[in-house]
A and B are shown apart, each in its own frame.
Chain A
């Protein structure tokens, strides 16, 4: 991998509640290199969005980072005071959320919002900042940007708004972009445009992207590597071709088989019995063991550590046992 932009080591995020401490993220480690898109997938409650929020320092109380470390480049950012973190957000880490309307202020023209972002993080003059805003809008594919820059968010369609949000995220040329379900609210034809755009910009600017989504199709097309999360832990992380075509973790295997595709001819979809455990009742040992078709004694008591198998890291005792046998 080229130079590492983001590195997360053994991250733990806990929420204090009246009924005790809930661990939403438990020992997550990942890194993203320059110009690389890391997909983070999982079903609802897997902790994928919380991982993204932890990186940008937006975990709200009663939640807190309870362990591990997050590094942006060589600098540790998980223990920074809020004021310092605020300056990193937007400048060095850009954000794209699911609903573009909540990221844009309805009372300000689109251009004013981009210019404000540029001028907060750089020392460009108002005039150059506006020229740069027009360049950004052109880059994200908004037609007639000289005119549209003075439009209000409600005058843009859903797809166009998400393009404006991407322009905002890129405004200060960040090293890292956290995109949390950026295409979920969009129709498929528009979704395709936004994915293509995100891929192109990331390649051109060398920006690292953490793409959080529940949609494996989006990950398969956009990401270079993918992390499959389950119950706040990473089940499998590796190159997208390996994880999607030949998943190793039983959960990843079940997940891929459960997704209807445009090409397979299976009459029945693979079923994973049951559903993800609640945070209050994460089973001991491997969190997936009650639903796992390959479960054996050790899975119920001992939590699997990630093991390097081929090009992927898999947290599953099956591979450990195999390793020992070999």
Chain B
């Protein structure tokens, strides 16, 4: 089944994101602004991000903290309204008010898995009620007996026992809770799952269980994933295509093999070189310089220019466009050794 996947993004993709933007107002209260004579301040958390995910594929967004990857995820599932841009899932616009009815039907198909499964469950509800909630909310199955049977089936699907439905979330370990969160996401017959660092809070042996489970379920039900992570090795394991984010922009997008075998953007190269990896025993590192700048006051031009060894005057003044999967003047001009 996996071989049938294509790495190119065709036009009729399941999820289409176009020029997505989100600006947060981070100004001080108006009285302070008045007294201190300060202007309003805004933070461009996401600044023109676009990608497409064909059905049954996994698109992963990677980046360091503050790169805007979680903000993208929240806008894609509709938890946060975009300042500009468009998200279309299964052809339905998530912003167009005229498509409200179609959107309502689609809602059940889109689910999110969060980093901390405990925070996303009501501690006073039994696991059975937690998993049955989407079934009841979307009125998918009638009759208590049928719902209970479906919950048992879902629990078995994620590697738990149907009797676990009677327990409370606190009776489970972190990994088991994440399994419950996945069962709940599947309860509404979801087609598209957005995972925001779904394994970052888990120990490695448990992380392996959850990652394997997510891939098995994808193969079985043809699920489409948007996978958000800061961990490049996890992303490499899960993704079909990868988007690398830096300060709210996509700097490089491409199929997994290309990104890892021949990264083109200087930031991607730096990031891949910086990851501590089991294969690098006692490795002498190439020093990485600098840190992510303050997103309220990003550098002009390419936001990576202060840390980039290849930056020139054009990089310091002109924002590079995403051309052929990479947003970099040096790559475009052929100044970078490939």
Contact = CB atoms under 8 A, between A and B. Distances in A.
Contact of B205 (A188, A255, A260): A255
Interface stretch (A76-84, A112-120, A189-197): A189-197
A308 interface: no
B322 interface: no
Interface in B199-253: 203-209, 211-212, 215, 230-234, 236-237
B233 A260 contact: yes
B279 A261 contact: yes
Contacts of A218: 276
A214 B174 CA distance: 16
Contacts of A221: 276-277, 280-283, 285
Nearest to A244: B278
A244 B279 CA distance: 9
Which of B204, B209, B274, B280 has the largest count of A CB atoms less than 10 A from its CB? Answer: B204
Interface string B275-299: 1111111110101100110000000
Contact of B206 (A157, A240, A275): A275
Which of A189, A257, A275 has the largest count of B CB atoms less than 10 A from its CB? Answer: A189
Contact of A269 (B176, B237, B280): B237
Given A216-B204, A262-B232, A269-B212, A191 B281 contact: no
A188 B278 contact: no
Contacts of B282: 221, 224, 240-241
B271 A188 contact: yes
A217 B232 CA distance: 12
A66 interface: no
A308 B271 CA distance: 39
A268 interface: yes
Contacts of B272: 262
Which of B175, B205, B271 has the largest count of A CB atoms less than 10 A from its CB? Answer: B205
A131 interface: no
Contacts of B260: 262
Contacts of B230: 187-188
A191 B276 contact: yes
Interface of B: 2, 64-65, 173, 175-176, 203-209, 211-212, 215, 230-234, 236-237, 260, 270-283, 285, 287-288, 291-292
29 contacts: A44-B203, A159-B291, A188-B64, A188-B276, A190-B291, A192-B273, A192-B274, A192-B275, A196-B285, A214-B203, A217-B275, A217-B276, A220-B277, A220-B281, A221-B280, A222-B276, A241-B282, A244-B278, A244-B281, A255-B204, A257-B208, A260-B211, A261-B277, A261-B279, A262-B233, A262-B277, A267-B2, A269-B211, A275-B173
